[in-house]
């Protein structure tokens, strides 16, 4: 018989990790819903054209997309991220602005798998459409910071930059191309290839051969127009007022093409270089237009769930928790009483489990022990005859006999429900 394993870059998220994932999304939802963001669920695949807009000169689009022709001959792609889908949804449904939404779920990129880099990975994120106000940039960044704090993370660094408006960015790209072309011989082969496609991405090179040329490259700061510069200054003032620490990194260009003005990235000080970026985002004024909508500014971020949890592990916070039951029912009379008792307790919200297969008392008690339940409700022949249940407190091993009709209320009282 063949035996199957998960595909490279994908994983089974088993208990108790899977509980932790759900708790992660619940904390995120709480933080952003408190700030007025609504939940949105875009599809996991759509017309590839939607994603081509996020950057035809980026690797995410040119090399890493999971795209295929479906049985109806449509060229579709698994989403590599969700910002483009949210903007497409905005154009399709035209909700009132400001449209403030949050999302969570898997994304797909055909990357080289390694720790912290997967082909299927989860993100949580927010997007806001229809607001130019720099105070919103501050709110968006502050929400990510608040979320990290709620997880208990303390070693998260924030870097921000501005990529200016369309014209500013274009002039900067020309200047960068000139700079790198003049020193082409010093660049690595990879950077020479990147330069052809997108000079901005050369700034992202971590290869030591490129370090000097990258360090000497012109800075975006000198190309910002008056509006973009004022916007960036206001964002920095707002962050200071909010008490959020940051550094300005004029080499921060991000991996997608749609960014204008504010961009930002969060890195975990506790992780190794390969996967320190635990979240990022920025403004993408212009993307909605490219998707066929009216001129609409946008800003948002996405945080990598997998990597953020690695950072949590490294800092020893937000530990996974097993979903323990409160009560375990042991029934040595065949199992029908266990079924009845479980149903009654569960109906009242008590987390209850039981043993199966009419096992021996000893085997059932072992299972009760493994379950982590605080209370064990034991039903044997004597209890059935007397219409009682034996309640055992696992902590101290004490036992008492309770009338069958009073057992649910008794359990609720002990658990403090
Ligand atoms: P991104 O920087 O491509 O931005 O991804 C955001 C985060 O997702 C990264 O910081 C990282 O934590 C995580 N991530 C990305 N690729 C992988 C991977 N292969 N394995 C594990 N984690 C990964 C975006 O996706 C934009 N949509 C963010 C945004 C929203 N900008 C504006 N709005």
- Atom 1 of ligand 1, residue of closest alpha carbon: 280
Average pLDDT over residues 210-236: 94
> 280 CA to middle of ligand 1, Å?
6
**Within the chain, what is the greatest distance between any pair of CA atoms?**
94
Short-list 65, 17, 89, CA closest to 292: 89
The model's pLDDT over 262-275, given as tens digits with 9 standing for 90+, comes to 999 999 998 887 78
Q: Residues 399, 330, 359, CA angle at the centre, nearest 5°?
A: 135
Identify the pLDDT of residue 257. Answer: 83
Identify the pLDDT of residue 98. Answer: 98
Q: Which of 307, 308, 310, 311 to mutate to test the pocket of ligand 1 (most atoms within 8 A of CB)?
A: 307
Backbone angles phi, psi at 179, to 5 degrees: -60, -50
DSSP string, 314-363: HHT-S-------SEEEEESS-SHHHHHHHHHHHHTT--EEE--TT--HHH
- Cβ atoms of 15 and 48 closer than 8 Å: no
| Domains by residue range for the chain, with CATH | 17-165+225-315 (3.30.930.10), 327-415 (3.40.50.800)
Q: Which of 50, 81, 296, 310 to mutate to test the pocket of ligand 1 (most atoms within 8 A of CB)?
A: 81
The span from the CA of 83 to the CA of 252, in Å, is 19
Residue 97 CB contacts under 8 Å (≥ 6 apart), including other chains? 129, 130, 131, 296
The span from the CA of 317 to the CA of 312, in Å, is 5
The model's pLDDT over 282-310, given as tens digits with 9 standing for 90+, comes to 999 889 999 999 999 999 999 999 999 99
- The size of the chain, in residues, is 417
For residue 283, which atom of ligand 1 is closest to its CA?
Answer: 32
The span from the CA of 174 to the CA of 259, in Å, is 17
254 half-sphere exposure, CB direction, 13 A CA radius: 27
C-alpha radius of gyration, the chain, whole number: 28
Other beta carbons less than 10 A from residue 175's beta carbon: 17
Q: Name the band, by pLDDT with cuts 50, 70 and 90, for residue 71.
A: very high
> 342 CA to middle of ligand 1, Å?
44
The span from the CA of 391 to the CA of 40, in Å, is 46
Backbone angles phi, psi at 106, to 5 degrees: -80, 150
- Atom 14 of ligand 1, residue of closest alpha carbon: 304
Q: Name the band, by pLDDT with cuts 50, 70 and 90, for residue 197.
A: confident
The span from the CA of 65 to the CA of 415, in Å, is 51
The span from the CA of 243 to the CA of 413, in Å, is 45
The span from the CA of 165 to the CA of 143, in Å, is 25
**For a pLDDT cut of 90, what percent of the chain falls above it?**
84
For residue 119, which atom of ligand 1 is closest to its CA?
Answer: 19
> 54 CA to middle of ligand 1, Å?
13
Identify the pLDDT of residue 229. Answer: 96
Q: Would you give the DSSP letter of residue 417? A: -
The span from the CA of 248 to the CA of 264, in Å, is 9
Secondary structure element (H or E) that encloses residue 163, with its range: none
Q: What CA–CA distances, in Å, run from 27 to 38, 77, 150, 306, 316?
A: 14, 30, 8, 15, 17
For residue 254, which atom of ligand 1 is closest to its CA?
Answer: 2
Asked whether the predicted pLDDT for residue 321 surpasses 90, the reply is no
Identify the pLDDT of residue 313. Answer: 96
Average pLDDT over residues 173-194: 91
Which residue do the tokens 């004022």 mark?
A: 230
The span from the CA of 21 to the CA of 300, in Å, is 21
> Using DSSP, how many helices (H) and how many strands (E) does the chain show?
16, 16
Identify the pLDDT of residue 21. Answer: 97
The span from the CA of 91 to the CA of 62, in Å, is 24
Residues within a 6 A CB radius of ligand 1: 81, 83, 109, 111, 117-118, 121, 123, 125, 127, 255-256, 277-282, 284, 300-302, 304, 306-307
Average pLDDT over residues 89-107: 98
**Poorest-confidence range of 25-29, 53-57, 236-240, 341-345?**
53-57
Identify the pLDDT of residue 22. Answer: 96
Identify the pLDDT of residue 272. Answer: 81
Q: Name the band, by pLDDT with cuts 50, 70 and 90, for residue 251.
A: confident
Structure tokens at 52: 């081509």
The model's pLDDT over 361-387, given as tens digits with 9 standing for 90+, comes to 999 999 999 999 999 999 999 999 999
Asked whether the predicted pLDDT for residue 395 surpasses 90, the reply is yes
- Cβ atoms of 169 and 283 closer than 8 Å: no
Identify the pLDDT of residue 350. Answer: 97
- Cβ atoms of 379 and 329 closer than 8 Å: yes
Q: Would you give the DSSP letter of residue 223? A: G
> 107 CA to middle of ligand 1, Å?
9
The model's pLDDT over 12-41, given as tens digits with 9 standing for 90+, comes to 999 999 999 999 999 999 999 999 999 999
Structure tokens at 214: 């990258």
Identify the pLDDT of residue 58. Answer: 74
**Poorest-confidence range of 34-43, 68-77, 170-179?**
170-179
For residue 125, which atom of ligand 1 is closest to its CA?
Answer: 30
- E strand spans, 56-210: 67-69, 75-78, 99-108, 120-129, 156-162
> In a 3-state reduction of DSSP, which class is residue 386?
helix
> 18 CA to middle of ligand 1, Å?
20
Q: Which of 156, 304, 309, 312 to mutate to test the pocket of ligand 1 (most atoms within 8 A of CB)?
A: 304
Q: What's the mean per-residue pLDDT of the chain? A: 94
Structure tokens at 256: 């997608």
């Amino acid at each position: 018989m063949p035996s199957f394993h998960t595909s490279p870059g994908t994983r089974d998220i088993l208990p108790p990790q899977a509980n932790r994932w759900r708790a992660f999304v619940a904390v995120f939802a709480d933080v952003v819903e408190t700030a007025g963001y609504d939940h949105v669920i875009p599809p996991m695949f759509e017309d590839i054209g939607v994603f081509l807009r996020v950057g035809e000169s980026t690797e995410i689009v040119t090399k890493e997309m999971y795209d295929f022709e479906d049985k109806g001959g449509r060229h579709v792609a698994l989403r590599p991220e969700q910002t483009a889908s949210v903007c497409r949804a905005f154009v399709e449904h035209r909700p009132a602005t400001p449209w403030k939404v949050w999302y969570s779920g898997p994304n797909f990129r055909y990357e080289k798998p390694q720790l912290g880099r997967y082909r299927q990975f989860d993100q949580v994120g927010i997007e806001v459409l229809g607001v130019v106000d720099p105070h919103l940039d501050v709110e968006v960044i502050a929400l990510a910071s608040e979320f990290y704090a709620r997880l208990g993370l303390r070693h998260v660094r924030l870097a921000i930059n501005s990529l200016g408006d369309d014209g500013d960015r274009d002039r900067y790209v020309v200047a960068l191309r000139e700079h790198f072309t003049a020193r082409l011989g010093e660049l690595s082969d990879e950077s020479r290839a990147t330069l052809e496609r997108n000079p901005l991405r050369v700034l992202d090179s971590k290869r030591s051969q490129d370090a000097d040329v990258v360090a000497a490259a012109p800075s975006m700061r000198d190309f910002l127009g008056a509006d973009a510069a004022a916007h960036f200054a206001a964002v920095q003032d707002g962050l200071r007022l909010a008490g959020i620490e940051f550094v300005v990194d004029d080499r921060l260009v991000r991996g997608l093409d749609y960014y204008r003005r504010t961009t930002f990235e969060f890195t975990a000080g506790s992780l190794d270089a390969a996967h320190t970026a635990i979240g990022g985002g920025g403004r993408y004024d212009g993307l909605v237009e490219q998707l066929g909508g009216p001129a609409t500014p946008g800003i948002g971020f996405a945080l990598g769930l997998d990597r953020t949890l690695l950072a949590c592990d490294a800092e020893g916070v937000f530990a996974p928790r097993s979903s323990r039951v409160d009560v375990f029912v042991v029934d040595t009379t065949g199992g029908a009483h266990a079924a009845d008792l479980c149903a009654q307790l569960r109906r009242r919200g008590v987390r209850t489990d039981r043993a199966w297969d009419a096992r021996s008392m000893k085997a059932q008690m072992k299972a009760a022990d493994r379950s982590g339940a605080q209370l064990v409700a034991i039903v044997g022949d004597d209890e059935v005859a007397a219409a009682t249940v034996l309640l055992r407190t696992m902590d101290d091993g004490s036992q008492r006999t309770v009338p069958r009709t009073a057992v649910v209320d008794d359990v609720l009282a002990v658990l403090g429900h």
